[in-house]
Structure 1
Amino acid sequence: MGDLARPVVAGLLSAVVGYASSFTLVLAGLQAVGASPAQAASGLLAACLGIGVAGAVLSLRYRMPIAIAWSTPGAALLVGAGPVAGGFSAAVGAFLVCAALTVVAGLVPWLARAIAAIPRPLAGAMLAGIIVPLCTAPVQALVDIPALAVPVIATWAVLLRVARSWAVPGALVAAVAAIVVTGPDAGLGGAELRPALAWTAPTFDLGAVVAIAVPLFLVTMAGQNVPGAAVLASYGYQVPLRPALVTTGLVSAAGAPFGGHQVNLAAITAALTAGAEAHPEPRRRWIATLALAGGQVLLGLGAGVATALVLLSPPVLVIAVAGLALLPALGSSLGNAVADQEMLLPAVVTFVVTASGVAVLGIGAAFWGLLAGLAALLLLRRRRVTTDAALHPDEVPANQQG
C-alpha cells in the first residue's frame, strides 16, 4: 500500500468503526433528555462535525495522531439521566456548562500534567483491558452468525498472509458485501443524505447542571480523555493535553446549541490510528487522524445511509471487524504492560480491573483500572522503601535515624 494510502485507509476505517459502534447510543441519549428526532439527528451531525474540526486542527497543528471522538460514556449517562426539568433546551445548557468545564481543565496546568503523567506500562495495560472484549468479538461472531462471520474472517486471514496492510480493509469490504447480500430488500434509496442542523436555544437550569453537566464532564474526563491520553502515551506520543482539552471544549461549546453533547480524545479508535498498522513511521501517523476527521464529517453528512447500512448488520459483525483491526494494538499494549518487571503487578491489576467492565458511580472501568494500578504501584514502592531501610539501616542519614 502506498505511503499515503495506508494511513488514509486506517483513518477511514477507524471513522467507520467508531461511528458504527456507538451512534445509536448517541441518538438514544439525546432522545432520552428530550430531543425530538430532528434534534437528535442534528446532535449526531454536530458531533460528527465537531470531531472533524477538532481532529483536523490538532492533527495539523501538532503532527500527532490525536484522534477525536464523541463521548460514548457521556451518551450512556444521558440515557440513564432521562428527561430533565426545562426539556431539551435545559439539556443543551448543560452541554455548554460541560464544555466550559473542559476548557477550564485545559487551562489549569497541574490538572493537565496530572492526567498526562501516566506510567507507560499502566497505560498499555489499561488499553489492553479496554480493547480485549472487542478482540474476542470475532470468536463470538463465529458462534452467533457463522454464515456472515466466516467470509469476513477468512478474507482477513488470506490477506494477512498475502497483503497484510489490506487485511482489515478487506474484512470490512467482506462485511459490507455480506450485509448487502443478506439484506437486499432493505432499500437505501430513501435515506436522507444531508441531515439538517437544528438550533436549540439553551437555557440554564441548576437541576440540569447537577444532573447532566457535572456528571458528563466527569465521565468524559475519566472514560475518554484520561484513557485517550494514556493510549497515545503507550505508543510513545506525549499528547499536548491542555491544548487538546481547550480545543475540544471550544468545539463542544460550538456544537452544543445544535444538540452535540461532547467531543473529546478518542480511546479505542485512537489505537487504530496511533499504531504501526496506520504507518510504520510514527511521524506520519497523524495523516490517519486527519483522514479520520474527514471520514467522520462524511459519515455525519450521510448519516441516513450509514445508519441504514449498519442497522442491516448484526451488531456483533461490526464489532468483529473492529476486533480484527485491534489485534495488533492488543499485542502492542500487552507488550508495553509487561516490559518493565518492576511494574508487572500494577500493570496486571490495571488490566484485570479495566477488562472487568465494571462501572462505579457512573464512571467506567478504564478509570478504576488506572486508579487501582496506581494504588498498587504506590503500595509496592512504599513497601520497597521500607524494606530497603530495614535491610540497610546504615545507609539512612543520621539525622533521620530514631
Structure 2
Amino acid sequence: MTALPFHTQTFWTGLVVAIVGFFSSFPIFLAGVEAMGASPTQAASAVMAGSISMGLAAIVLSLRYRVPASVAWSTPGAAFLAVSAPDAAGFAGAVGAFIIAGVLGVISGFWKPLARLAAAIPAPITMAMLSGVLLSICLVPFKALPDAPMVALPIIVTWFIVGRFSRLFAVPAAVVTLFLLVLWHNSGLPQIDTVVTDPVFVWPVFSLSAALGLGVPLFIVTMATQNLPGVSVLRANGYEPPAGRLFATVGAFSVLSAPWGAASTCVAAITAAMCCDENAHPDKSQRYMAAVWAGVFYCVFGVFAAGVTNLAGLAPPLAMGVLAGVALFNVFANSAAAAISAEETREEAALTFVVTASGITLFGLGAAVWGLLIGCLVHVIKRRLAS
C-alpha cells in the first residue's frame, strides 16, 4: 500500500478549512435541529453525526478521485429547517425527512433526470427562496439590540471589523466573542458536564407531510446551493470530478448520519475553493490532501461536539440567535442579489421571496415550499404567454 503524501501546507490548510467550515456554520446547524424538536442530547448527537459525516465523506471522495472534494453540512438547508414548523411526529418525523432528502441525493447521482429537474428550477427563484428563508434569521441580531445590547453589539462589531480584513474568519471571530460572553455571563469558566459526545439514535417516522414539507425542499436547497456550485468550483480550478458519484456519496452519508440527528451532507463550495488554491499545495495534483486533512479535523470536532453544544447552552439569552444571524448575513446578501439580478425573472423571484419571508403554513406545507411553487408557477405561465 502506497503511503499517503504529507505536506505541511496541506495539513495547515486542512485545519483552517475545518475551523472555518465548522465554526462558521454550527450555530445555524444547531438552530435547525433544535427548531425540529431535538433535545439537547439529540442536538449534540446531530452536530457530532453531521461533522463526522462530512469528514468521512471528504476523506473517501478525495482519496478515491484525487480531487480536493471538500464536504460540508448544508448550511442553507439548516437555515431552512430553523424557520420551518416542526413535524407533527417531532424530531423523529424530521429525521424521516432527512433520510428522504438523502435518498433523493443518492438517486440524483445515478438517475440524471432528477439532478436535471433540481437544476431546471431557475436559479433566481431558488436564490429568492433561500433569501426569504434567511431574512428572519438575519433580522435577529438587530432585533436583539434594544433588549440585549451588551450581548448583540460585541458579536456584531467583532463580525463586522474582522470581516473588513477576512470574511472567512469573521464568523469564527464572532464565535470567540460568544465564548467570552459565556465567561462573562457565568462569572468565569463554567463547568461542562461532558465534552465527548454520546451518539443518540432516533427511530425515523415517515409521513407524506414531512416528505413534501421538509425532505423535498431540503434536497432542492442542498442540490441547488451546495452540490452544484461545489462541483462547479472544482471544475473551475481544473479538476474533473464525477459529479454523479459525488452527489450519490454525500447523499449516502446523509442517509447514514440522519438516524443520529444530522441533516444533509453535501459538496462544499467555499471551502473547496480554499483546498483548490495554490496556498494549499504548489502541486495541483497534491491539493486533494488538504480536503483529506479537513475531513480528519471535522471528525475530531464531531467527537467533541457535546462540549460545543453545552457551551452554546450556557450563552446569554439571544446570543446564539445573534451569532446565527451574522453568520448568514453574507449568504443572504449574495442570494438576494442573485435573486433579482436578472430582469426577466425578477417578478417571480420577488414573489418567491415575499411568500417565503411571510412564514405562512397552508395544508401542512411551509412558506418556503409555497414560495418555490408560486415562483415556478408564475415563471411557467410567463414563458407560455411569451411563446
Q: Same fold (TM over 0.5)?
A: yes
Q: 1:216 to 1:233 in 2, by over 3 A?
A: same
Who is 2:346 aligned against? Answer: 344
Which one of 138, 146, 150 corresponds to residue 147 of structure 1?
150
What SS is found at the alignment partner of 1:67?
strand
Who is 2:123 aligned against? Answer: 120
Letter in 2 for 1:212: F
Letter in 1 for 2:89: A
Matched, 1:227 2:245: no
What SS is found at the alignment partner of 2:191?
coil
Q: Map Cα deviations across residues 37-89 of structure 1 (whole Å, 9 max, x no partner).
A: 98886666444433432355457756466532497578988762159xxxx9x
State the Cα RMSD in Å.
4.5
Who is 1:392 aligned against? Answer: none
Q: Map Cα deviations across residues 108-161 of structure 1 (whole Å, 9 max, x no partner).
A: 332222112222222222221122222212102212211111222222333344
Q: Map Cα deviations across residues 289-322 of structure 1 (whole Å, 9 max, x no partner).
A: 8787556534432233222201112463223223
Matches within 5 A, 1:126-275: 126-161=129-164, 165-184=168-187, 187-189=190-192, 191-197=193-199, 212=206, 215-232=209-226, 242-243=244-245, 246-255=248-257, 259-261=259-261, 263-265=263-265
What SS is found at the alignment partner of 2:264?
strand
1:49–1:300 contact (8 Å) kept in structure 2 = yes
Matched, 1:68 2:38: no
Q: 1:237 to 1:266 in 2, by over 3 A?
A: closer
Who is 1:21 aligned against? Answer: 31
2:57–2:71 contact (8 Å) kept in structure 1 = no
Who is 1:375 aligned against? Answer: 377
Who is 1:80 aligned against? Answer: 88
What SS is found at the alignment partner of 1:80?
coil
Letter in 2 for 1:142: L
Q: Map Cα deviations across residues 302-355 of structure 1 (whole Å, 9 max, x no partner).
A: 233222201112463223223223222222222212221111101111111222
Letter in 2 for 1:374: C
2:74–2:264 contact (8 Å) kept in structure 1 = yes
Alpha-carbon separation, structure 1, partners of 2:347 and 2:137: 24
Offset of residue 279 of structure 1: 9.1
2:55–2:71 contact (8 Å) kept in structure 1 = no
Using the TM superposition, name which of 278-287 and 153-162 deviates more.
278-287
What SS is found at the alignment partner of 1:136?
helix
Alpha-carbon separation, structure 2, partners of 1:234 and 1:362: 29
After TM superposition, the score normalised by the length of structure 2 is 0.71
Alpha-carbon separation, structure 2, partners of 1:339 and 1:134: 23
Which one of 324, 334, 337 corresponds to residue 335 of structure 1?
337
Alpha-carbon separation, structure 2, partners of 1:160 and 1:39: 33
Q: 1:291 to 1:167 in 2, by over 3 A?
A: farther
Alpha-carbon separation, structure 2, partners of 1:301 and 1:16: 14
2:53–2:265 contact (8 Å) kept in structure 1 = no
2:227–2:247 contact (8 Å) kept in structure 1 = no
Alpha-carbon separation, structure 2, partners of 1:148 and 1:113: 45
Letter in 2 for 1:80: A
2:105–2:247 contact (8 Å) kept in structure 1 = yes
Alpha-carbon separation, structure 2, partners of 1:217 and 1:377: 24
Q: Provide structure 1 residue ranges, at least 5 long, that are not aligned to the other structure.
A: 32-36, 203-207, 386-402
